[in-house]
Amino acid sequence: MDKIKVKYFLMSVITMWTMTSCNDIVTYNENYDDDMKSTGTPFINGVYDSEDIEFTTPIVNAVFEQMVVITGDNLAQVRKIMFNDVEVNLSEVYATKERAYLPIPRKIPENVTNEITYETEFGTTKFDFAVNIPEVKIEGLYYEFCQPGDTVQLVGDYFDLYGFGGVTETSTIKMNGQNLEVDSISEGYISIVIPKDAQPNSVIDINYEGVNGGVHRQISYMNTDGLVWDKDFVKNYSYPEKISFVEGNVESGEPDYYINLRGDFSAWGWVDIIKSKLNITSEVAASPNDYLLKFDVCSSENTPFYNSGDAGYRFVFNTNGDNSYAWNPSSVTSFGTYGRWCTVSLDLVSLAMKTQPLTEGETNFDLVIHPNSNWTINHSFANFRIEKKLP
């Protein structure tokens, strides 16, 4: 958990405790109970999420960085708290006689005991409690069509916990058997360097020792085999006003070619960006759940993607406008790429089968802009492709 958040959480707890104490003024010492001191061996009777302020529902497990409250007796004057064999930083703990507020440490234990060990000046107690240990979450390359020699982010979560970057021999990232150089690493991404001799349609292999043994994952790099539209089609297409074909500057990180939308678009207009035919193979038609539609996008710094509801950018399959999918990347939070190219992955089954099944053979495949308000944009699209999901 962010140290600053922990600090302010503990300050809030202390403030509330102080205010409560001030409302209960004690003017004599007889039978006075100092809530900040223990008088015997610690005892735990439950663990609660910190947001459960009434302590109504005890929990039996938690996740990394979750703030919890341990309840019981003689919990003050704490010396050590461990979840499994991982110690909690005591600077992040606020403990009174009956409660202790603390975050679950973000560290994988070497020995999983599914216990809390709680030690004070007066003794030690244990309490059954499990910490859910996450596997690495791998979403893919931030931009799959980056050029050989480029540094690109491998996006996901928990990379810092599993020894990537040469910390262990078991956590590796390779392309065609070659270890990829790790430029930097954080919780949510690893910056890797694509080899200068990398070829299109390569696969990156990721291996690490997970909670239940070895894990092998694969991600795509520059899959040109799955491209829906070739350069000649995109270049020679007759585009509407404010939509154009652009020859990309590869050296500056752009695709070879892309479609750019620039200017003002009126609310509830329906403009076909591009209309085309798409051949659905028997393999795709038989198992659409196994496939993705991928494409690369770029928005200028000042024009992120609008929250467009069920409108916005729409993919239309077959000839039925109702069988369309509204892509709204800003539905939860504002999404923009700030002038960088970014890969988007959408489940084909959700995108292409809204009102009718996906069948083998030729079908219409259209990309439409249908704003739900007046839009001013500078957005670009490239490399539309259908890819099989990798293991």
Amino acid 354: pLDDT:
63
| Cβ atoms of 341 and 296 closer than 8 Å | yes
Phi, psi of 79, deg, nearest 5 = -110, -35
Let me know: does 238 contact 272? Beta carbons within 8 Å: no
Q: Are the CB atoms for 239 and 245 separated by under 8 Å?
A: yes
- Does 147 fall in a domain? yes
Report pLDDT digits (tens) over 370-383. 999 999 999 999 99
What backbone torsions phi and psi does residue 57 show, to the nearest 5 degrees? -130, 100
Closest CA to 282 of 338, 360, 385, 211: 360
Average pLDDT, the chain: 89
Pairing of β 178-179 and β 172-175: antiparallel
Instruction: Name the band, by pLDDT with cuts 50, 70 and 90, for residue 321.
Output: low
For 260, other C-beta atoms within 10 Å of its C-beta total: 18
Amino acid making up residue 291: Y
Do 96 and 189 belong to one domain? no
Span 35-47, pLDDT tens digits: 889 999 999 999 9
> Does residue 19 carry a pLDDT above 50?
no
Are 12 and 127 within one domain?
A: yes
For residue 378, tell me if it sits in a domain: yes
Tokens 């000042």 correspond to what residue?
A: 302
Q: What are phi and psi of 14, to 5 degrees?
A: -65, -40
3-state SS assignment for residue 197: coil
What are 208-249's pLDDT values in tens digits? 988 888 999 999 999 999 999 999 999 999 999 999 999 999
Residue 1's pLDDT is what? 46
Residues facing residue 381 across a β-bridge: 259, 297
Beta carbons within 8 Å of 145's beta carbon, 6+ residues apart: 222, 255, 296, 341, 343, 382, 383
pLDDT bracket for residue 30 (50, 70, 90): very low
pLDDT at 34: 59
Let me know whether 71 and 153 are in one domain.
Answer: no
Q: What is the CATH number of the domain that holds 193?
A: 2.60.40
According to the model, what pLDDT value does residue 29 have? 42
Backbone angles phi, psi at 135, to 5 degrees: -80, 165
Residue 269 resides in a domain: yes
With respect to residue 353, please indicate whether it lies within any of the assigned structural domains. Answer: yes
Do both 268 and 325 map to the same domain?
Answer: yes
My answer on whether 238 and 378 are in the same domain is: yes
Determine the Cα–Cα distance for residues 37 and 141; give it in Å rounded to an integer: 52
What does the pLDDT read at residue 230? Answer: 93
Cβ pair 78, 90 in contact under 8 A: yes
**How far, CA to CA in Å, does 142 sit from each of 78, 295, 338, 340?**
44, 12, 13, 10
235 and 379 belong to one structural domain: yes
Answer yes or no: do 235 and 384 share one domain: yes
Please list, in sequence order, all residues whose beta carbon lies within 8 angstroms of the beta carbon of residue 338, skipping any fewer than 6 positions away. Answer: 299, 300, 301
Distance (Å, whole) CA 251 – CA 184: 22
DSSP SS3 for 178: strand
Q: Please check whether residue 26 lies inside any domain of the structure.
A: yes
Residue 322's pLDDT band, with cuts at 50, 70 and 90, is low
Structure token pair of residue 11: 């300050």
Residue 259 in domain = yes
Of 101, 132, 163, which closes a domain?
Answer: 132
Query: How far does the chain reach from its first CA to its final CA, in angstroms?
Result: 31
Distance from C-alpha of 148 to C-alpha of 192, rounded to nearest angstrom: 11
Per-residue pLDDT tens for 358-368?
788 888 889 99
Query: How large is the average pLDDT for residues 251-274?
Result: 95
pLDDT for the residue 31: 43
| Residue 204 located in a structural domain | yes
176-214 pLDDT tens trace: 899 999 999 988 899 999 999 999 999 999 999 888 889
Last residue of a domain, one of 221, 239, 273: 221
- Domain shared by 260 and 151, yes or no: no
Question: Among 379, 381, 368, which residue's Cα sits nearest to residue 269?
Answer: 368
CATH number of the domain where residue 304 is located: 2.60.120
pLDDT of 23 > 60? The answer is: no
Phi, psi of 151 (to 5 degrees): -95, 130
- For residues 15 and 79, membership in a common domain is answered with yes
* Band of residue 263 on the pLDDT scale cut at 50, 70, 90: very high
Q: 295 and 169, same structural domain?
A: no
Range of the domain at 117: 3-132
Asked whether residue 226 is assigned to any structural domain, the reply reads no
Report whether pLDDT(17) > 80: no
Report which of 28, 46, 180 is spatially closest to residue 100, judged by C-alpha positions: 46
Task: Tell me: do 206 and 260 sit in the same domain.
Answer: no
pLDDT of residue 167: 75
Same domain, 28 and 154: no
pLDDT at 150: 96
Q: Are the beta carbons of 293 and 366 closer than 8 angstroms?
A: no
Q: Which amino acid is at 164?
A: F
Contact 64, 88 (CB under 8 A): no
Rounded Cα gap, residues 178 and 181, in angstroms? 9
pLDDT in tens, 54-93: 999 999 999 999 999 999 999 999 999 999 999 999 999 9
**Per the structure, how many domains does the chain have?**
3
The helix (H) or strand (E) run that includes residue 236 is helix 231-236
What pTM, to 2 d.p., does this model score?
Answer: 0.81
Confidence class for position 386, pLDDT limits 50, 70, 90: very high
Residue 358 or residue 265, greater confidence: 265
Q: Summarize pLDDT for 131-184 with one digit per residue, the tens.
A: 999 999 999 999 999 999 999 999 999 988 988 887 777 899 999 899 999 999
